[in-house]
Structure 1
Amino acid sequence: MEEKVLKSKSWVANYFYSKVCEYQHYLEQVVGHCDSSLARFAQKLPPGDNEGRLLTYAYGSLNNMVQTLKDGGSVFLPTAITWTDIKALRHGEFFYLSRNAATHDGNPIIDAWVDGRYYVGKDIERFDGFGKFIKIQRPVEDVRTFTLEFSRDFYGFLADRLTLLGDDHQLTQPIIGPSEIEQIMGSQLIPEDVKSLFSGQIDEIKEKAGNIKSDPVAKALEQIRTGADYIRRVS
């Protein structure tokens, strides 16, 4: 059982790296749409027809990634990530509460445009799942600014938590195990002639696959450093 738990944690740790990449993807989309709007304003042009809508989609996806990284990291990190941790970051309280407003109510969150910059135009009022009235105070900063400020703090927080694992963690496991290879070779997606070709080499393939390992913590930390460098460049 202990071996299965470790393997499961290793899988989630490997997923974590790709989700950090996904967070960065949506962050760059948010900044890109904001910069496009600023460029149009500088040219005395109105906002693009779809710019605000696409910005809303990108921000919503970015915000959902916060929970994904929170929950995924809690599986393999020595200390679980809590909303209390995230709310302590700059604009963390707003990210937490606005995610609930967007996910449960469909609230678009971003609803104001002034001189090329997008804003949350007013405080958000809603009732939570228990019928409690909640008023979410809007950030005074524009969307580009508060998103970058939160992301800078969030990356720093994730890096600190990952660093606690040290270099001698047990999460570096074979990327593909024997059971996965058997499932792949048994799949209907694999042509029969390919299965026949490799049928006598399964044990060798399993052995070689067992030697292919990747450190998911190191990969995630490297991606976080890349993301932090991006934030420094565009801030």
Structure 2
Amino acid sequence: MTEQETHHKMVVGSFIKNKLEEYEYFLRKIISICNLVNSNFLAGINPVNTSDEDINFTFNAFVNTFQSLKDSLETATSQKIAWSYFSEVRHSTFFKECRNAITHDGMQIINAYTDGKYYIASNIERIDNKGKFVSLEAPKQDILTLCLEFSTDLMIKVDIIADNYGQSIPTQSNVDKMKYIARYMNSPIVPEFARTLFQQNREIIEQQLAAHVFNPVADIKKQTASISSLCAHT
């Protein structure tokens, strides 16, 4: 493996916690929208939500983080992670396939509301990239339950990947990190005073970069614990 490849894996590994934070961000949005609609329904407020599209837009972004997590974990750990690895995760097949419908076909799949909850009313039908007809059975669960059950199981699997393969994520590289910082500092959008500060403190910054070693496994597990706790207390 070249130094550039090692550096790339290190960078990808360092961003997994951010992708998990993004996952939690959209999950919280879904929880908030669903709770608002349900509380308005129980209070007899009509309409329960004047921005019906919010749930689809938020759900679309949430679903896409599943693929991103899988891909970044593969890259950072150098381990092939098959979709079958997630077979025990409740609704994993649905999330994988509806992600394809959302990303490749632009579908808005949440299309039903009843008694304060959002649902998917009918099967999702599409043609995949091999020309095969796919019919994805609509889940019986409401959207909030669906997302919470999926997330609870998914975080367990991500934890296992971190435990088993996290040590493969590089925590340092010999690539000159200062050149990346210098490239940024040379951008015309960076104010002159910032460039001056950078030059004045260049040696200190180099020393700090050389000494810094991040802990990707701890970062990942901290964030999966946060998401698991959110699911358990919603």
The alignment status of 1:112 with 2:112, answered yes or no, reads yes
Contact in 1 for aligned 2:172/2:213 (Cα 8 Å): yes
Q: How many residues are aligned here?
A: 232
**Paired position in structure 1 for 2:170:** 171
Instruction: Using the TM superposition, give the Cα deviation of residue 169 of structure 1 relative to its aligned residue in structure 2, in angstroms.
Output: 5.0
Instruction: Using the TM superposition, give the Cα deviation of residue 78 of structure 1 relative to its aligned residue in structure 2, in angstroms.
Output: 4.6
After superposition, the Cα gap between the structure-2 partners of 1:123 and 1:199, relative to the gap in structure 1 and judged at 3 Å, is closer
**Paired position in structure 1 for 2:213:** 213
Residues in 2 aligned to 1:156 and 1:30: alpha-carbon distance in whole angstroms: 21
Residues in 1 aligned to 2:10 and 2:134: alpha-carbon distance in whole angstroms: 38
Instruction: Using the TM superposition, give the Cα deviation of residue 177 of structure 1 relative to its aligned residue in structure 2, in angstroms.
Output: 1.8
Instruction: Using the TM superposition, give the Cα deviation of residue 100 of structure 1 relative to its aligned residue in structure 2, in angstroms.
Output: 1.1
Residues in 2 aligned to 1:159 and 1:139: alpha-carbon distance in whole angstroms: 26
Residues in 1 aligned to 2:134 and 2:194: alpha-carbon distance in whole angstroms: 59
**Paired position in structure 2 for 1:230:** 230
**Paired position in structure 1 for 2:49:** 48
Could you list the runs of 5+ residues in structure 2 that have no partner in the other structure?
none
**Paired position in structure 2 for 1:9:** 9
**Paired position in structure 1 for 2:189:** 189
Identity value in percent? 28
Instruction: Using the TM superposition, give the Cα deviation of residue 198 of structure 1 relative to its aligned residue in structure 2, in angstroms.
Output: 4.8
Residues in 2 aligned to 1:31 and 1:72: alpha-carbon distance in whole angstroms: 25
Residues in 2 aligned to 1:197 and 1:79: alpha-carbon distance in whole angstroms: 41
Residues in 2 aligned to 1:101 and 1:193: alpha-carbon distance in whole angstroms: 48
User: TM-score by structure 1 length?
Assistant: 0.90
Contact in 2 for aligned 1:38/1:117 (Cα 8 Å): yes
Where does structure 1 differ by over 3 angstroms across 4 or more consecutive aligned residues?
189-201
**Farther-moved stretch of structure 1 (218-227 vs 82-91):** 82-91
Instruction: Using the TM superposition, give the Cα deviation of residue 103 of structure 1 relative to its aligned residue in structure 2, in angstroms.
Output: 1.4
Instruction: Using the TM superposition, give the Cα deviation of residue 178 of structure 1 relative to its aligned residue in structure 2, in angstroms.
Output: 2.1
**Paired position in structure 1 for 2:98:** 98
Residues in 2 aligned to 1:61 and 1:21: alpha-carbon distance in whole angstroms: 13
Residues in 2 aligned to 1:216 and 1:154: alpha-carbon distance in whole angstroms: 18
Instruction: Using the TM superposition, give the Cα deviation of residue 170 of structure 1 relative to its aligned residue in structure 2, in angstroms.
Output: 5.5
Residues in 1 aligned to 2:13 and 2:3: alpha-carbon distance in whole angstroms: 15
Contact in 1 for aligned 2:77/2:169 (Cα 8 Å): no
Contact in 2 for aligned 1:87/1:96 (Cα 8 Å): no
Instruction: Using the TM superposition, give the Cα deviation of residue 205 of structure 1 relative to its aligned residue in structure 2, in angstroms.
Output: 2.7
One-letter code aligned to 2:224: I
RMSD of Structure 2 on Structure 1 (CA): 2.2
Instruction: Using the TM superposition, give the Cα deviation of residue 32 of structure 1 relative to its aligned residue in structure 2, in angstroms.
Output: 1.1
Instruction: Using the TM superposition, give the Cα deviation of residue 226 of structure 1 relative to its aligned residue in structure 2, in angstroms.
Output: 0.8
Helix, strand or coil at the partner of 2:113: strand
Contact in 2 for aligned 1:17/1:220 (Cα 8 Å): yes
After superposition, the Cα gap between the structure-2 partners of 1:23 and 1:200, relative to the gap in structure 1 and judged at 3 Å, is closer
| CA distances 1:76-129 after superposition (whole Å, capped 9, x unpaired) | 125222222234411001001111111122221111111001111011122222
| CA distances 1:22-56 after superposition (whole Å, capped 9, x unpaired) | 00000111111111111011011232111x31111
Residues in 1 aligned to 2:197 and 2:94: alpha-carbon distance in whole angstroms: 57
Instruction: Using the TM superposition, give the Cα deviation of residue 201 of structure 1 relative to its aligned residue in structure 2, in angstroms.
Output: 4.7
Helix, strand or coil at the partner of 2:160: helix
Residues in 2 aligned to 1:135 and 1:223: alpha-carbon distance in whole angstroms: 34
User: TM-score by structure 2 length?
Assistant: 0.90
Contact in 2 for aligned 1:124/1:135 (Cα 8 Å): yes
After superposition, the Cα gap between the structure-2 partners of 1:139 and 1:205, relative to the gap in structure 1 and judged at 3 Å, is same
After superposition, the Cα gap between the structure-2 partners of 1:195 and 1:31, relative to the gap in structure 1 and judged at 3 Å, is closer
One-letter code aligned to 1:93: T
Instruction: Using the TM superposition, give the Cα deviation of residue 181 of structure 1 relative to its aligned residue in structure 2, in angstroms.
Output: 2.9
Greater relative contact order, per chain length (Cα 8 Å cut-off, separation 6+): 2
Helix, strand or coil at the partner of 2:126: strand
